[in-house]
């Protein structure tokens, strides 16, 4: 009953407390509701967009890794054909050794091979019964692949049907390509091949085989979402990766329900996003797809829509709960604060009414209740003024009573009550002035804070300008090879068919420009992965002697073409090193190619290896142009290129050695350089030894 009466009294709309509480409470409630609505309208779509961007980025990253692997395999295939076209054709023994070294240097590849057309070099009869030759005809068909005890040299059979028509396709199209998937010795793989053209004549094919099991394992182990499923399709709609192993190499045409979902992905050239029904679990799903070049493959990820939207639903529920609790808490705080603030007013209002009516008795009863009002705020000053007015009125009343009784010896203060109230009003105005001064101080503080924010925005603008400058530099370096490609291609289109030598020269220029552009893009991509921590290292024991021998064999044609000597001095019984084999090859390729690039004709590039404590030190020494002190200070900084003319005339992105330093440190190694201008350079690469248990 008491609660009901208190509530009814509190809800009295004539009460100042009730009016203030209702008005302020309504305003604050509307503000909170508006804030929740605004946050919901902004945060929820942003959360969905962030999820979509994350999912698309995940698929794009995986697609880039697969594309990089395809590029690596095609590069090896091209190196085999370049070797044949430059020095290797007809040198069968050297070709077999070159194939072996290439396979040993790239253990992730299933096999390496060179297949000549019948009697292409006129040596078939002499090669009957020899390694790499057909036992009946002597046709040169060597290929290296893993055996029970190591690498084994075999002879290819069914050449015309190898890799589901690779021979006939390469002979007809005369360009490098990636085959459709096929099973060989119960291993799902595909082939990367290029035609061997000698003086424009088709002499055979060369290339490498790569198991697709690595891709399948990578995608199966990648779980950005619990319900994520990956599908990878070939240009002919065959499964390269699927949630069910029975689907591998099979065509979409065999499964109509799957074809309805995935047929649009075959041959796609742009990333895509669709809402579909997953044919494997029949759940409504979001499908993100990205094309993979080279290869013409398409990678797609399906994720249950319920899982993707779960964080959004959770956030919406959280906003509702927080808003409800916030409203309740603010209502309680408002009631308490307003009640405590308004409480003195009721007594002062009664006192004012008593003064206006001259009711001294009521004034004396009410004002003692306001004695607890302390401080220097408006209420305290008003209470003090009322107390002075009460004392004045009491003294006046006593004086009039004494006069009425005949006592004329009364002293009446000439300061009337209006002067007392005037003093109180002056104090009240002074309080308002002080408050305005405080607000002005706060305004100045906000102005200074705004200036700091403007400075921060200016810094962000400068960072954006640096980003734009970087993109301009890269686009300039990429535009040069693209312009060269377009120019030579237009010349080829306008030329007569009879000028084959000139066409070959133009084609060589186009290929060189493409290789330059591809190298630059791959360097940028790899360095971006390293900077963002997304690079993956597969550490394994590596034989330094075998790896360096393969490096020397790989760069020997390039060094010979430039008139350089290249060799390796490797002591026996070197311990194994624990590194990522592919990254180690990238490191050595970068350092050795730089040595060849900046060493003039007649010079020498030497590779050495030795044990240095718990490291194996690999040394690359050249007799080239060397480094200045300024170059050595900035050599391993990103995008640094020396201002020397002999360096500027060579193409490059300026991130190669920065990437080498970063990837070495990620594997527990380091790199040092010793050089002076004009005396060559020596790079020492320290790599951790593999523990005996590895």
For residues 681 and 684, give the distance between their C-alpha atoms in angstroms, rounded to a whole number: 10
| CA atoms of 586 and 105, how far apart (whole Å) | 11
Burial of 421 (0-12, 13-18, 19+ CB in 10 A): middle
Give the pLDDT confidence of 390-399 residue by residue, as tens digits: 666 666 666 5
Structure tokens, 587: 């490191």
> How much is the pLDDT for 425?
45
What's the maximum distance between 2 C-alpha atoms anywhere in the chain?
Answer: 159
Could you tell me if 259 and 279 are in contact, meaning their C-beta atoms sit under 8 angstroms apart? no
Residue with tokens 């050089």: 675
Question: C-alpha distances in angstroms, 102 versus 5, 108, 144?
Answer: 95, 11, 10
Please tell me the predicted confidence (pLDDT) of residue 41. Answer: 66
The reported pLDDT for the residue numbered 317 is 72
Give dist(CA 617, CA 595) in Å, integer: 17
> For residue 85, what is the DSSP state?
I
β-pairing, 604-612 vs 565-569, is: parallel
- The HSE-up count of residue 671 (CA atoms within 13 Å, CB side) is 25
Task: Report phi then psi at 183, rounded to 5.
Answer: -100, 135
Q: Is 185 left (phi over 0), alpha (psi -120 to 50) or beta?
A: left
Per residue in 344-363, pLDDT (tens digit) is 666 666 666 666 656 666 66
Q: Which of 386, 398, 311 is nearest to 354 (CA)?
A: 386
What phi and psi values does residue 37 have, to the nearest 5 degrees?
Answer: -65, -45
pLDDT given for residue 497 in this prediction: 56
What's the pLDDT at 416? 47
Q: What DSSP state is assigned to residue 406? A: T
Q: Are 230 and 300 in contact (CB under 8 A)?
A: yes
Alpha helices in 616-666 (DSSP H): 629-634, 645-648, 656-666
- Report the SS3 class of residue 218: helix
Q: Which domains does the chain have, with CATH numbers?
A: 43-327 (3.30.450.20), 414-523 (1.10.287.130), 540-688 (3.30.565.10)
The two beta strands, 182-184 and 284-292, are unpaired
Determine if the pTM surpasses 0.85: no
What secondary structure letter does DSSP report for 185? T
Q: What's the number of CA atoms in the CB half-sphere (13 Å) around residue 518? A: 16
Contacts of 561 (CB under 8 A, 6+ apart): 86
Burial of 249 (0-12, 13-18, 19+ CB in 10 A): middle
* DSSP H or E stretch at residue 378: helix 378-404
Residues composing the chain: 694
- Distance CA(355)–CA(10), nearest Å, equals 27
Q: CA angle 450-455-459, nearest 5°?
A: 145
Q: Specify whether the CB–CB gap between 222 and 194 falls below 8 A.
A: no
| Residues of the chain falling short of pLDDT 70 | 1-21, 24-25, 36, 39-44, 159-164, 312-313, 338-433, 435-436, 449, 459-484, 486, 488, 491-499, 512-513, 515-516, 519-521, 523-524, 527, 640, 643, 645-654, 693-694
Instruction: Please tell me the distance from the alpha carbon of residue 653 to that of residue 637, in angstroms, as a whole number.
Output: 12
First to last CA, the chain: 84
Residue 421: the pLDDT is: 46
């Amino acid at each position: 009953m008491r609660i009901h009466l208190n509530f009814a009294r509190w809800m009295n709309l004539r009460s100042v407390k009730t009016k203030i509480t209702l008005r302020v409470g309504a305003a604050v409630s509307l503000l909170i509701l508006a804030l929740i609505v605004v946050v919901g309208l902004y945060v929820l779509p942003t959360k969905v967009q962030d999820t979509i961007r994350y999912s698309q980025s995940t698929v794009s990253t995986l697609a880039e890794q697969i594309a990089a692997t395809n590029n690596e395999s095609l590069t090896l295939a091209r190196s085999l054909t370049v070797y044949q076209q430059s020095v290797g054709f007809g040198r069968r023994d050297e070709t077999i050794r070159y194939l072996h070294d290439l396979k040993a240097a790239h253990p992730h590849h299933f096999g390496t091979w060179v297949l000549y057309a019948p009697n292409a070099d006129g040596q078939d009869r002499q090669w009957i019964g020899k390694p790499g030759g057909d036992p009946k005809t002597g046709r040169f068909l060597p290929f290296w692949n893993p055996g029970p005890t190591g690498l084994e040299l075999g002879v290819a059979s069914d050449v015309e049907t190898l890799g589901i028509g690779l021979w006939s396709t390469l002979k007809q199209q005369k360009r490098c390509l990636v085959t459709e998937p096929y099973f060989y010795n119960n291993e799902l793989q595909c082939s990367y091949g290029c035609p061997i053209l000698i003086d424009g004549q088709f002499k055979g094919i060369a290339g490498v085989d790569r198991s697709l099991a690595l891709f399948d394992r990578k995608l199966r182990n990648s779980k950005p979402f619990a319900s994520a499923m990956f599908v990878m399709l070939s240009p002919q709609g065959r499964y390269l990766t699927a949630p069910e192993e029975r689907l591998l190499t099979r065509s979409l045409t065999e499964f109509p329900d799957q074809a309805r979902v995935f047929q649009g992905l075959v041959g796609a050239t742009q990333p895509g996003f669709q809402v579909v029904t997953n044919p494997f679990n029949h759940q409504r799903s979001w499908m993100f797809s990205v094309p993979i070049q080279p290869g013409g493959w398409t990678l797609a990820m399906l994720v249950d829509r319920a899982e993707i939207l779960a964080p959004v639903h959770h956030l919406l529920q959280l906003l509702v709960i927080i808003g409800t609790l916030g409203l309740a808490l603010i209502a309680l705080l408002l009631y308490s604060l307003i009640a405590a603030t308004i409480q003195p007013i009721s007594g002062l209002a009664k006192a004012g009414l008593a003064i206006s009516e001259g009711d001294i008795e009521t004034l004396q009863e009410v004002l003692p209740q306001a004695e607890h009002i302390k401080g220097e705020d408006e209420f305290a000053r008003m209470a003090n003024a009322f107390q002075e007015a009460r004392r004045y009125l009491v003294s006046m009343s006593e004086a009039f009573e004494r006069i009425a009784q005949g006592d004329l010896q009364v002293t009446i203060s000439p300061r009337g009550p209006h002067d007392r109230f005037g003093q109180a009003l002056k104090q009240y105005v002074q309080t308002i002035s002080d408050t305005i001064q405080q607000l002005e101080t706060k305004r100045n503080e906000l102005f200074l804070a705004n200036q700091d924010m403007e400075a921060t925005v200016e810094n962000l603008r400068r960072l954006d300008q640096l980003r734009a400058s970087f993109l301009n530099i890269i686009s300039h370096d990429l535009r040069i090879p693209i312009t060269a490609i377009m120019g030579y291609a237009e010349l080829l289109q306008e030329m007569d068919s009879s000028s084959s030598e000139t066409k070959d020269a133009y084609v060589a220029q186009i290929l060189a420009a493409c290789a330059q552009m591809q190298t630059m893009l791959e360097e940028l991509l790899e360095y971006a992965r390293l900077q963002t921590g997304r690079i993956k290292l597969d550490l394994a024991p590596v034989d330094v002697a075998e790896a360096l021998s393969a490096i020397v064999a790989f760069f020997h044609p390039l060094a010979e073409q430039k008139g350089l000597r290249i060799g390796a001095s490797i002591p026996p019984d070197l311990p194994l090193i624990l590194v990522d084999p592919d990254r180690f090859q990238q490191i050595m390729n970068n350092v050795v190619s730089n040595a060849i690039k900046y060493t003039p004709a007649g010079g020498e590039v030497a590779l050495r290896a030795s044990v240095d404590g718990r490291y194996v030190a690999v040394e690359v020494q050249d007799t080239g142009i060397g480094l200045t002190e300024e170059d050595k200070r900035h050599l391993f900084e990103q995008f640094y290129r020396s201002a020397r003319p002999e360096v500027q005339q060579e193409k490059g992105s300026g991130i190669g050695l920065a990437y080498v330093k970063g990837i070495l440190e990620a594997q527990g190694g380091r790199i040092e350089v010793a050089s002076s201008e004009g005396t060559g350079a020596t790079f020492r690469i320290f790599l951790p030894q593999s523990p005996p248990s590895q």
